[in-house]
């Protein structure tokens, strides 16, 4: 692959480039809204999260970016939340199956309801994944997604053993959410995107005050809405497939705004977690025979990852080029992690 890419934590100087990237997302991203002040706050939160004194999950938000080194432009983002809940509760709808029966009339039927769940001490979450369409090739999406799990493995004390992924719910071509139109719009004074953004930036008091306290009967919703509960946005289908292959499982919980599915996994069962290996490097200035494309990280809190040709030597070291070593800021004998991508 000719394109040189660097996966790294966001920096203060990334603000304008990040806003440009986010502005290209169709329908926006609620966890990274296209608003200068919100982005500045998100970047500041991430800078604090990487403090070396953090030793347990406390709700820190880690934001990573993917940089095209030659162009000096950001082409992707992905993030981690060390723990959902905490001071701001984490809300979901749980799909409950309720058996209703009446023997005299031989009636026996399963009735689904949506019940509001509030969690104050939840699992870790992966979030804010977006890759520019021009870069959706050659394993770059895997770099953006899987590098996070390598970071979690290297600094496991910062995260919960359980991980969730909230996937973007179905929106039609006009950006309309059938679930929001049928449910949320009846209780909130804001449009779908505004309400979801407020929740994403931690302003959640309105949910407690305005959300219905009683279960919602699914059968009473329009058929179009029923069919879209647990469905994903068309652009999110590839991300869902990557996560399912990674080892995430479907759950009976959905997002309260767009009814997007929530996936869950134990981190030790994830493919990237199990296969991410730590070795020493052997940086080579001369060409060598590669055995494939590797995802390689520098195994440091100042985290860096890239895709590169590499090979395991007979003594167990990872042979990488001097160019790859420069991207990762490592030298021969330094500790790195690797995943074989292809």
C-alpha–C-alpha distance, residues 57 and 236, integer Å? 27
What's the CATH number for 276-340?
Answer: 2.40.40.20
- The residue annotated as part of the active site, out of 120, 132, 138, 233, is 233
Alpha carbons within 13 A on the beta-carbon side of 131 = 20
Nearest to 252 by CA among 115, 119, 160: 115
Active site residue 233: yes
Instruction: Kindly provide the residue ranges of all beta strands, DSSP E only, lying in the chain, ordered along the sequence.
Output: 5-9, 61-68, 73-81, 85-102, 107-121, 124-131, 162-166, 216-217, 249-254, 261-266, 277-284, 293-297, 305-309, 311-312, 318-321, 335-340
What are the domain boundaries of the chain?
5-271, 276-340
Q: From first to last of its 342 residues, what are the pLDDT tens digits of the chain?
A: 678 999 999 999 999 999 999 888 766 676 777 788 889 999 999 999 999 999 999 999 999 999 999 999 999 999 999 999 766 788 899 999 988 888 888 888 889 999 999 887 889 999 999 999 999 888 899 999 999 999 999 999 999 999 999 998 998 888 788 998 898 888 876 666 566 665 555 556 767 777 787 899 999 999 999 999 999 988 788 889 889 999 999 999 999 889 999 999 999 999 999 999 999 999 988 888 888 899 999 999 999 999 999 999 989 999 999 999 999 999 999 999 999 987
Torsion angle (degrees, nearest 10) of CA 273, 275, 276, 281: 170
The CATH classification number of 5-271 equals 3.40.630.30
Beta partners for 216? 114
Distance CA 7, CA 78 (A): 9
């Amino acid at each position: 692959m000719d394109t040189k890419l660097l996966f790294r934590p966001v920096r203060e100087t990334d603000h304008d480039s990040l806003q440009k990237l986010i502005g290209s997302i169709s329908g926006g991203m609620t966890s990274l809204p296209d608003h200068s002040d919100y982005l500045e706050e998100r970047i500041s939160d991430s800078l604090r999260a990487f403090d070396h004194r953090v030793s347990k999950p406390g709700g820190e938000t880690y934001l990573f970016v993917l940089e095209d080194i030659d162009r000096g432009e950001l082409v992707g983002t992905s993030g981690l939340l060390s723990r959902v809940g905490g001071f701001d509760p984490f809300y979901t709808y749980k799909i409950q199956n309720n058996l209703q029966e009446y023997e005299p009339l031989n009636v026996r039927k399963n009735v689904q309801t949506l019940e509001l769940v509030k969690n104050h001490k939840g699992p870790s979450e992966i979030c804010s994944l977006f890759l520019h369409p021009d870069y959706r090739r050659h394993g770059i999406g895997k770099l953006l997604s899987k590098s996070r799990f390598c970071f979690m493995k290297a600094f496991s004390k910062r995260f919960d053993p359980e991980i969730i992924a909230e996937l973007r719910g179905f929106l039609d071509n006009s950006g309309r959410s059938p679930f929001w139109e049928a449910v949320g719009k009846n209780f909130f004074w804001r449009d779908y995107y505004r309400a979801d953004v407020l929740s994403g930036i931690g302003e959640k008091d309105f949910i407690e005050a305005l959300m219905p306290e009683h279960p919602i009967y699914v059968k009473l919703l329009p058929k179009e809405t029923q069919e879209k509960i647990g469905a994903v946005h068309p652009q999110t289908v590839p991300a869902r497939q990557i996560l399912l292959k990674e080892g995430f499982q479907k759950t009976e919980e959905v997002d309260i705004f767009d009814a997007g599915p929530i996936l869950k996994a134990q981190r030790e069962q994830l493919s990237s977690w199990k296969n991410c290996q730590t070795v020493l490097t052997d940086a080579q200035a001369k060409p060598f025979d590669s055995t494939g494309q590797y995802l390689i990280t520098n195994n440091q809190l100042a985290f860096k990852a890239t895709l590169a040709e590499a090979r395991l030597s007979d003594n167990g070291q990872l042979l990488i080029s001097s160019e790859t070593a420069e991207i990762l800021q490592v030298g021969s004998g330094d500790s790195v992690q690797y995943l074989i991508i292809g």
